[in-house]
A and B are shown apart, each in its own frame.
Chain A
Amino acid sequence: MAAADSSSAALRRRDLCSRGIRLAGKMRSDVIDLLDTYVERQGLDASASVAVVEGVPVAAVERWDEQTGTQRLLENLAAYRAFRALLAQMLEEQREQLGEADAALGRALAAVLLQVSAFAYHLEELLRLESRGLPSEEGAGPPPPSHLGLFERKLWGLGVLRELAQWAVRSARDLRQLTKPSPGSSLAPSPAESP
């Protein structure tokens, strides 16, 4: 009976991971499109380098292959919760600055925000499956960029979207890593793997 439960949980986890990978792929594709739209509508140079933006979680990580599965999920969840708040802020910013003038950009932003929320929920499901308590969302919100000038806020938005695109890639790899069978712990890392 316990074996059956374990097998069912493994199947469920595998299923969730597969769907998560698909979600991440779709999200990345949409974020890339959104980036194009954003750069064009905001009159920015697509090659503009943006410094590390305060409050935006960074996808790059050292010793990725040594992370445990739970650690991966927790980092992903924290990142997407942060992105959820950041994108909501971008959406609000866009409405404030452009009103109804650029509905297409607003719709695209809202669509990505929805995907980020869905992905965060998906990660929560995976963590629940591992019988892990979900971390609280306190402190997930980034500092408001109201002190910045409008140009800096445009660059800030660009930085958020670029980092989100990076995260979509990392999340897909993280989830793929989780689907691989590993000895011992169900979510233990495979040391040889690297993103």
Chain B
Amino acid sequence: MWKNSSLRCLLALAILCLRSLIYSQEIGSLGHPQNLKCVTHNLRKMICTWDVSSKGRHGQTDFCYTTNDLPPPVCFKTKEKRVEIPVPESSSMVTITTNSISGTAFATKEFEIHKEDIWFVPLTPRILSLTPDFSTSTLNLKWSDNGSVFPYGLGAFWQIQILRKAAMEKVTQVTYYSKLTHEDIILSWNWTSDMPLECTSHYVKIRCYINVTQFVGPKDWSDWSPVEEVPGKDTEPNGSGVFPQDTVVAVGSDVTICCVHEEGQQIKRMTYGPEIYPMIHLSSRSSAIRVLNASASNTSGTNVVCILSGDEMDGTVLFVGYAPDIPQNLSCETSNFLNIKCTWKPGRPSGLYGKRRTKYSLFERISGRNVSCEVNEMNRERVCGFPVLADQKTYDFILGVSNPIGQTESSLVVDLTQRVHPKTPEKLTVSGNSSTSVRLHWFINGSFAEIRLLCQIEIRSGHSERKLHNISMPGGKFSTYTAQLNALRPYTKYHFRVRCSAADHFWRWSDWSMVEEHTTLEAPPTRGPDIWRERSPSGKSLKIFWKPLSLSEANGKIVSHEVSCYVLETPLEYKEVTEPSNSTEIKLGKNDCVISVVAKNHAGSSPPSRITSVELPSDNVKTDRAVAMGNGIYISWNSYPNMTCGYIVKWCHSSGSEPCSVDWQKFPSNTTDAVIKSALFRPGVRYNFSLYGCQSSGYQLLKNITGYMKELPPKRAPNFTVEETSSDSILVKWEDIPIEDCQGFLEGYRLSFAKGEKDALKPRLSESGNPELKVKNITDLTKKSLKILDLQGKTSYQLDLQAYTAGGLSPPNSLYVVTKEDSVGLIIAILIPVAVVVLLGVVASVFCYRKREWIKETFYPEIPNPENSKALQFQKNICEGNKTLKTLEMNPCTPNSVEVVETRSAAPKIEDTEMMSPAADTTVPEDGSDSETENHVVVSYCPPIIEEEISNPPTDEPVGSSQVVYIDIQSMYQPQIKPEEEPEIDLVTTAGYKPQMQLPISALKIESRSLAEEELDKTAGYRPQANTNTWNMDTPDSPGSVESNNENASFGSPCSINSRQFLLPPKDDEDSPKPSNIGWSFTHFFQNKPND
């Protein structure tokens, strides 16, 4: 029990102690209000807040303040630590007393609030609306400025922040300024996003700052307003698409295009046109691409395609173009005073078509009327119509131009009466029954009552220049206009057309009307025809000629000519000659009369032309030449004082087989020369003119004149023949050229000659450039022959003959003539050489005969003296050191033994057995066994019996073929010849000889020889040198030269069958190709001498 009571006491004591502790703490803590802060939002009232240092419970707070330091203070109780009190003008004393819960005051503190300490922070602005415009990607923000609580005229700054994506990334922050008007104004601000608003969510918040200059306390921005959101398509459950949808942007813009897809899909790629662009991640369902500096798209726009997983695709079309250009050359005019047509050039194309095309509207400021213009986009010049308004002359036009990218305008003020461009005159008609005047009528569709018209009539006729005739006339309403034209030519086809313009203020001509044709009526011819007459050769009839009148003189179609013949006003004869005849003949007998000719057309007759038929006698009529002028013929004559009424030059045109047509020209009496021109004159044709003088009593022939309009070269050369030929001269004769072939006055002939054979391909002599060409010019036209002298006998000459005029040379006629042979010269040329030869022969014969002993001793001794032998000298030289001649080398120069290979040889041994026959080395045996024959030393000899050798078969006796005796004549007689020269000499020497004993081989080589000849050779045992085949075979190039091309010089001379004597002396070897019969004769001569 005690325990309980004591416990109770202890518990009560503890509670009391605790309570007293708490209480004492409340009383004893600072507990004072502190950090009083006052903020005003509207400059009139301020909100003051403070802190209390104790966190313990307390009751109401007594709050007292004095306004402007003036007692009594205003007191009130508050449970909060926040009061709203008026803003003092300068300062305010504030007493804050904190009470306990029981109501006991335990802390009081006084504050003095100065106005400088009061903060001014505007109220947080509230966004009234945030409206998206998806088509333009624009956000419209609206909020109230709360201006009613502030004095008028304060400046307010509004800071607006745009945030994007779920992460609220700041996109932009702008400051908007406004003035407060002491009224609550709803402010509005637009922001255009660079990204379509559908792409992702956009957020906006706003705060403000009011610049109260008279407020001395600190000022601050308001708090940010709550965020307003514009959700993107990616937040919608099924939202998808490519944005922006089908928009138009300017060229050079930066464009962001996004692709929003459904949950679970993936974007594979995004393309702009043909290009793939890198993607910008916006959200899990949205990505974008950014196209920088977009270039103009094509007519159907640029496709932006979003390829999604599963090969699905979505896309949009972007049109990139230009803002409209300022219209150029704006011009307005009326064609009928009903409509005004304005035209302009559009300038740079916008690149936008169809519904996005550039649109035009015409606004007239004075009347306030507006018309929209339908224009063709593809036309370079645009046209727009505007109605003409009643009682309005001046028009002030504004041409408005717009397209989705921009707009512009152009203006023009016009006085319509000065901008009249009438429509094309229509229904042009021409009327008139006169030969010189017509009336024209035309209609212009338009009301021109207020102005005068100036119309221009173009007059064209076939033979005259274009003429313009201007007529000014009052304008009418849809009227027909009339004009009369005078001074036209009769019977002339005219072409008329009309155009009109405003007369007072010219602007533009209308187009020309259609051409209208009209022919004026006929009138009588203005004058009589130009006439001439000629008596017939018999003198019994007179032919009258007249020239047709020109169109301007005929005044119509001439139907006939009346020809009358009067004698003293009495008509003798009358004729009416219908067209187209221009001459007639009347029979006069021997009478004369005055002839009258009148031209008639449908409108009447011309005045008569008269001429007398009297022809005065004339004597000693000369014929002169006229001068060709190229385009006419110049003729002149002396002045004849008696010719009082002028001169007549008459000529005649002849063309082919038709009769000559007479023409004439009249000249006044003071004329003494003239150039006669006619389209009928032809170059190269000779014309004959007759000059008549006119006297009152008749006409007199004064002179005949011939001439050419232009002289040409003669058509052909005269025919010529050779009359006579000798060994040194030719006589040629030629004929005249007919006049018609002359084509000009013949001035001479040109005869060219030179040596030459007849050859069809040879050029003309004059063109051949032959230096021996000789030319003879014959200017005497009467001369018809020419003898050409100093020619060579028996020589062919080419002769060319040409005629020439002032126009040039004719083509030549050519002849080839061979002069006769000079027989005396020929005889002399033959006799002199013959005589010389005979004389030389006789002298040589006498000499040889007298010196025959010496010759024999010298050249053909019975026993040759070795000391005199050149052959031995030659061998000596070889032995001394010439190693090159291998075939003649006798190493060591010791005599070889002599082997007699043919026992039946009757020839005695001779001293030159040491000489190795070269033929032994070079002659190839037929069986090829050369080993034996190579070392044979062959005795030179001439076998007396050949036939036996030939009969031996070569295979049995191969050595037999080497029994030929070769004597190296060459080495014997010309040892001094250098070895290197030998082959050349060999050619010469070997050419003159074939060994007589080599018949079988020779027979093989000479295929062309006949059998009879071979037989003859066999029997003879010798082949004469005259055989040309033999000569030829030994040429180095021939196959036979293989044998003879060695050092074998023994071919140099033939060897007689019956003697060892040389047939030809060595010095004659070089002449061996000479006819062999001569050599043969001399050999015989020497050989036979002893016998003689």
Contact = CB atoms under 8 A, between A and B. Distances in A.
Given A41-B299, A43-B301, A100-B376, A151 B353 contact: no
Contacts of A49: 311, 313
Contacts of B377: 99-101
Interface stretch (B202-210, B241-249, B1026-1034): B241-249
Contacts of B299: 41, 98, 101-102
A99 B353 contact: yes
B82 interface: no
A151 B300 contact: no
A45 B311 CA distance: 13
B378 A151 contact: no
B461 interface: no
A121 B300 CA distance: 33
B626 interface: no
Contact of B305 (A41, A150, A151): A151
A151 B315 contact: yes
A61 interface: no
B240 to A, nearest CB: 12
A154 interface: yes
A152 B315 contact: yes
Given A100-B378, A151-B242, A43 B355 contact: no
Contact of A101 (B241, B317, B353): B353
A48 B300 contact: no
Interface in B593-613: none
A97 B245 contact: no
Interface in B211-251: 241-242, 245-246
A44 B303 contact: yes
Interface string B313-347: 11111000000000000000000000000000000
Interface in A85-101: 95-101
A147 to B, nearest CB: 12
Nearest to B356: A97
Contacts of B298: 41, 43
B1077 to A, nearest CB: 103
A149 interface: yes
B713 to A, nearest CB: 68
A150 B376 contact: no
B712 to A, nearest CB: 66
Nearest to A50: B313
Contacts of B241: 149
Contacts, number: 71
Interface in B644-664: none
B892 interface: no
Interface string A25-53: 00000000000000001111100110000
Given A150-B317, A151-B242, A151-B317, A96 B355 contact: yes
A41 B377 CA distance: 18
B316 A151 contact: yes
B354 interface: yes
Interface residues of A toward B: which range?
Answer: 20 to 34
B342 to A, nearest CB: 21
| A95, A97, A151, A152: residue with the most chain B Cβ atoms closer than 10 Å | A151
Contacts of B313: 48-49
B317 A98 contact: no
Contacts of B300: 41-43, 97-98, 102, 154
A101 B354 contact: yes
A39 B301 CA distance: 13
B290 interface: no
Nearest to A93: B354
A150 to B, nearest CB: 4
Interface residues of B, number: 26
A98 B305 contact: no
B115 interface: no
Interface in B523-582: none
A149 B316 contact: yes
A49 B312 CA distance: 8
A99 B302 CA distance: 17
Nearest to A102: B299
Contacts of B302: 43
Interface in B444-471: none
Contact of B317 (A100, A102, A154): A154
B841 interface: no
B376 to A, nearest CB: 6
Contacts of A97: 300, 353-355
Contacts of A102: 299-300, 353
A150 B316 CA distance: 7
B353 A98 contact: yes
Given A41-B299, A43-B273, A150-B317, A101 B378 contact: yes
A37 B316 CA distance: 20
A45 B271 CA distance: 11
Nearest to B241: A149
B357 interface: yes
A193 to B, nearest CB: 34
Interface in B256-302: 273, 298-302
A55 B315 CA distance: 21
A159 B117 CA distance: 76
Contacts of B355: 96-97, 99
A98 B313 CA distance: 24
Contacts of B357: 99
Interface string B1050-1080: 0000000000000000000000000000000
Contact of B303 (A43, A95, A96, A98): A43
A43 B353 CA distance: 16
B303 to A, nearest CB: 5
Contacts of A150: 245-246, 301, 316-317
Contact of B246 (A42, A99, A149): A149
Interface string A120-156: 0000000000000000000000000000011110110
Contacts of A151: 242, 246, 303-305, 314-317
A96 B302 CA distance: 17
Contacts of A45: 305
Contacts of B314: 151
A45 B303 CA distance: 10
Interface in B697-727: none
A157 to B, nearest CB: 11
A25 B314 CA distance: 34
Contacts of A44: 303
Nearest to A41: B300
Nearest to A48: B313
| B241, B242, B300, B316: residue with the most chain A Cβ atoms closer than 10 Å | B300
B353 to A, nearest CB: 4
B249 to A, nearest CB: 14
Given A149-B241, A150-B246, A154-B300, A98 B316 contact: no
A151 B242 CA distance: 10
B896 to A, nearest CB: 111
A154 B305 CA distance: 12
Top 3 nearest A-B pairs (CB, nearest first) are: A151-B315, A101-B353, A150-B317
Given A45-B305, A99-B354, A151-B315, 11 more contacts: A43-B303, A97-B300, A97-B354, A98-B299, A100-B376, A100-B377, A100-B378, A101-B353, A103-B378, A150-B301, A154-B303
11 contacts: A42-B300, A49-B311, A97-B353, A98-B299, A100-B376, A101-B377, A101-B378, A102-B299, A102-B353, A149-B246, A150-B301
